[in-house]
């Protein structure tokens, strides 16, 4: 690698600070605003973005971000909280629509005759840049700031442009597969959630049967029935799986506990009676077990982001297949939920005291519990029943006595598990592959960027 030149990135790119947009310009809709707080590990969570009204956004047209742009957080904390650290770098993915670069960020735009855009991204993902950013930042750990003048001084070994592209191609293929798996998991989860809502909340198969039988529809359900009548017959369960559809009732009864109409013959149970809440698990003090902290719970998907092993000294205890639900604000509102899928069948683990452990009972299995834990009405019920001081409010176990479920017989619950389980198994497989690919990428990154491992330009 003797032909690689060490050079400051300030000589290879232009640097653009984000726009200082006041809160008075925020809106319920319009153009999304890319803030440091919305950065994920390597991208941006657009579901959390604020909006700037379109009429005002035009003022910051020069700060609009494009697909592939590399953006660095110039304000933030410094380790151990790397998730919000100064120097964190993301790359804008496809299909985000219009997006404005906010203040406390710097967009680095490479001279494409000298520096490949994706190679730049990987340069800034190295541990060398992380330490450079932290050591070059001023201020405090709570509000460290990386001046752009300092950012420009970061030096890197620069291979010829074709080799840059070849390196970026290898690392990019791994990242592309990681992202594909993430998207697939989102789709699989959405499919399971849609089936849960259709069967146990909207009662679609029961409405279809009632309409087909010509039975009376309660006034409260007329609007839903009219919508079901518009659904093509070929897309209904009564057409796709008539034997399964026949297991659903064809009429409704009014339930006083729920205060609404439910399928005839279905049983109403509180969550506490339907599933196990914080079930008993035996772990002796000092026993070394797998431990999960709150940071490891995802806000989307169900995969736990790693664990450590340590001696048990207290905390929520769980087993394989249990669902972990955050009980404290703002973790619950942010959607922190996970499925335990890394233990042996006879193994127990433990985690944060701020976890609620949910486990299936009888024919209610993990897929049902996982869907319930992410069901909006159930989560809102938990949020509304939090108690405690502002910022430290917690869900009380008593709230599970007052949330009720309309449940069919065991045969339909078993069928739901049979249909949904492959989705969750595939989610676990994809998540395991993501972990393997991430480790491979992180192992290759420093070797390729430093030139210790060389690639042929012909790889493209």
| Residue 36 to residue 72: CA distance in whole angstroms | 9
Encode pLDDT of 306-347 as tens digits: 899 999 999 999 999 999 999 999 899 989 999 999 999 899
Residue 49: what pLDDT? 83
Is residue 359, in this structure, part of any structural domain at all? yes
Looking at the structure, tell me whether residues 9 and 153 fall in a common domain. yes
Instruction: Please determine, for residue 47, whether its predicted confidence score (pLDDT) is greater than 80.
Output: no
Residue 457: what pLDDT? 62
pTM of the model: 0.85
Residue 48: what pLDDT? 77
Domain final residue, candidates 407, 422, 449? 407
Looking at the structure, tell me whether residues 153 and 10 fall in a common domain. yes
Percent above pLDDT 70 for the chain: 96
Name, in order, each residue with C-beta under 8 angstroms of 69's C-beta and a sequence gap of 6 or more.
91, 92, 101, 107, 109
Is residue 226, in this structure, part of any structural domain at all? no
| Residue 441 to residue 448: CA distance in whole angstroms | 10
Is residue 246, in this structure, part of any structural domain at all? no
Residue 44: what pLDDT? 82
| Residue 189 to residue 183: CA distance in whole angstroms | 10
Mean pLDDT of the chain: 91
Query: Among 419, 385, 414, which residue's Cα sits nearest to residue 271?
Result: 385
Looking at the structure, tell me whether residues 11 and 152 fall in a common domain. yes
Domain final residue, candidates 158, 178, 198? 158
| Residue 292 to residue 233: CA distance in whole angstroms | 47
Encode pLDDT of 202-257 as tens digits: 999 999 999 999 999 999 999 999 999 999 999 999 999 999 999 999 999 999 99
Residue 277: what pLDDT? 96
Q: What does the DSSP 8-state code read for residue 62?
A: G
Looking at the structure, tell me whether residues 284 and 154 fall in a common domain. no
Instruction: Please say whether the beta carbons of 33 and 53 come within 8 A.
Output: no
Range of the domain at 138: 5-158
Our CA dihedral for 139, 145, 149, 153, rounded to 10 degrees, sits at: 90
Residue 403: what pLDDT? 96
Q: How confident is the model at residue 1 (pLDDT cuts 50, 70, 90)?
A: low
Q: What is the CATH number of the domain that holds 24?
A: 3.90.220.20
Query: Among 190, 181, 183, which residue's Cα sits nearest to residue 423?
Result: 190
Encode pLDDT of 415-459 as tens digits: 999 999 999 999 999 999 999 999 999 999 999 999 888 887 656
Residues 112, 115, 120, CA angle at the centre, nearest 5°? Answer: 120
Percent above pLDDT 90 for the chain: 70
Domain final residue, candidates 379, 407, 435? 407
Query: Among 274, 217, 282, which residue's Cα sits nearest to residue 410?
Result: 274
Encode pLDDT of 17-38 as tens digits: 998 888 888 888 888 888 888 8
Encode pLDDT of 290-317 as tens digits: 999 999 998 888 989 889 999 999 999 9
Looking at the structure, tell me whether residues 146 and 10 fall in a common domain. yes
Is residue 366, in this structure, part of any structural domain at all? yes
Is residue 348, in this structure, part of any structural domain at all? yes
Is residue 459, in this structure, part of any structural domain at all? no
Encode pLDDT of 70-127 as tens digits: 999 998 876 655 556 888 999 988 766 788 888 899 999 999 999 999 999 999 999 9
Name, in order, each residue with C-beta under 8 angstroms of 356's C-beta and a sequence gap of 6 or more.
277, 278, 316, 324, 325, 326, 327, 395, 397
Domain count of the fold of the chain: 2
Residue 86: what pLDDT? 86
Is residue 279, in this structure, part of any structural domain at all? yes
Residue 203: what pLDDT? 96
Is residue 435, in this structure, part of any structural domain at all? no
Residue 29: what pLDDT? 85
């Amino acid at each position: 690698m003797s032909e690689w030149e060490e050079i400051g990135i300030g000589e290879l790119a232009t640097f653009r600070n984000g726009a200082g947009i006041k809160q008075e310009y925020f809106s319920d809709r319009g153009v999304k605003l890319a803030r440091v707080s919305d950065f994920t590990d390597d991208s941006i969570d657009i579901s959390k973005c604020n909006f700037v009204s379109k009429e005002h956004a035009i003022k910051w047209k020069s700060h609009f971000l494009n697909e592939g742009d590399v953006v660095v957080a110039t304000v933030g904390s410094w380790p151990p909280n790397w998730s919000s650290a100064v120097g964190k770098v993301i790359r804008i993915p496809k299909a985000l629509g219009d997006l404005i670069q906010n203040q406390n960020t710097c967009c680095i735009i490479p001279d494409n005759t000298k520096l490949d855009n994706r190679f730049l991204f990987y340069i800034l993902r190295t541990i060398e840049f992380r330490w450079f950013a932290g050591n070059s930042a001023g201020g405090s750990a709570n509000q460290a700031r990386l001046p752009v003048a300092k950012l420009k001084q970061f030096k890197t070994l620069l291979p010829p442009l074709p080799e840059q592209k070849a390196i970026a191609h290898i690392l990019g293929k791994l990242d592309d597969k990681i992202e594909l798996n993430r998207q697939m998991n989102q789709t699989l989860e959405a499919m399971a959630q849609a089936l849960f809502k259709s069967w146990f909340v909207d009662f679609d198969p029961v409405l279809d049967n009632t309409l087909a039988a010509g039975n009376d529809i309660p006034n409260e359900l007329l609007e839903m029935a009219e919508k079901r009548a518009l659904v093509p017959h070929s897309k209904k369960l009564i057409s796709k799986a008539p034997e399964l559809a026949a297991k659903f009732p064809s009429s409704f009864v009014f339930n006083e506990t729920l205060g609404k109409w439910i399928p005839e013959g279905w049983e109403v149970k509180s969550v506490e009676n339907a599933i196990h809440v914080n079930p008993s698990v035996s772990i002796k003090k000092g026993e070394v077990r797998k431990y999960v902290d709150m940071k490891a719970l995802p806000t989307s998907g169900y995969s736990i982001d790693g664990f450590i092993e340590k001696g048990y000294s207290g905390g929520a205890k769980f087993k394989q297949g249990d669902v972990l639900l955050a009980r404290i604000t703002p973790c619950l509102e942010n959607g922190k939920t996970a499925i335990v899928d890394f233990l042996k069948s006879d193994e127990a683990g433990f985690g944060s005291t701020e976890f609620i452990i949910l486990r299936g009972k009888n024919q209610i299995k993990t897929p049902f519990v996982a869907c319930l834990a992410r069901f909006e009405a159930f989560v809102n019920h938990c949020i509304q029943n939090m108690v405690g001081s502002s910022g430290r409010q917690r869900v009380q176990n008593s709230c599970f006595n007052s949330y009720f479920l309309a449940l069919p017989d065991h045969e339909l619950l078993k069928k739901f598990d049979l249909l949904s389980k492959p989705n969750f198994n595939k989610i676990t497989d994809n998540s395991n592959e993501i972990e393997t690919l991430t480790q491979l990428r992180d192992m290759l990154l420093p070797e390729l960027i430093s030139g210790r491992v060389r690639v042929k330009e012909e790889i493209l």
